[in-house]
Structure 1
């Protein structure tokens, strides 16, 4: 396969391949690779992180699946995913840094204790799914993402409270400008199977009569709470949608 130097599109999803052959790293004209199975360890015939380094023409959607046990952190450093400028949709199954103009991102089945530090730097991000980030106790400050349109938060088993930090309020003393907007482009928001979730808090320190209160999710049209226990305190009243109506789906 390494001799197909002009190959531009390769689809391996649904195949029986245990790992990608190492020679794929030489296909520098490759533009499409739907699933990239990256092998850790000493298998010299398998595709490794470093082999992705030369595939800078990849674009569209890429799913990275990690195979085996990582024994050397330098394997991740060699990846240089930040140089893949044309990827517009990337599903990450481990904590890897994409380029900052990414538009769609999924982080699934992550065992890290918190979110990656680069997550809130993705200022072009429009679609985000966080699924089974099993050790996260709080949510990232996603209200800071200016172009986020669709957000799905699934199976965050340890999150008990969605509070001001989710909106971007770092502490009780932090304030928002009266003209600011939190989640300014968000249209669809879904929470699903958040088993420990008890409380949804708005902006801390805000009073209903406060005229300087920033707008929260002004364009949200769909809000889904699926497979949730009834909350002790709900933050729905803090939403300031400017759409004609908000469709709320509650499935307990």
Structure 2
């Protein structure tokens, strides 16, 4: 995988990855399949590995490839590569970069999933890395649970636009919050003041926005472009999950 497959991806994608991926879907798919084979047989060479740029190239395929199945495979491979990185600081930096800087909500949602997997593995294997302590959650808490107070100032069309662009991330975060706060297995990873802060800056404004949108959809006050039923279902799931969080 390192350095050969990384170089293949770098040389193929060049300086305009989106155009190369969209214009050459078959070649891109073949490169992803090759990466899966290498990962399956653990042909990784981690001592020489540059995991962050390699992971980044795979996520570009997961975003831009025209085939949903190839995008899903690339996303899966990116997750495996992340977990293969032997440096927990490096893994945390990759997740932090995605959560803070990525403009694609679906990819941010994947980062939340990968974080949960890291926490589970650290506990199951009794590891002593950053994912086994509160360090990881504390580092990522403001990227995971950003200040959503601005939503209270938005009108219905703006709320609609925000939700349809960002729902994958927020639905995944709501599930992650339940995983983190509702059980007893991972409460030791939560900084003491975090639940109340998350409720104030993230949960309450998001609930308010969700209820505003649900009311607007019900009263047909928004141009839903035929997506009203689907969006209403998403918002109901979000609201149910947020209300179930034991943050007091």
Query: If the TM-score is normalised by the length of the shorter chain, which range does it land in?
Result: 0.3 to 0.5
Q: 1 or 2, which has the higher strand percentage?
A: 1
Q: 1 or 2, which has the higher helix percentage?
A: 2
Larger Rg over CA atoms = 1
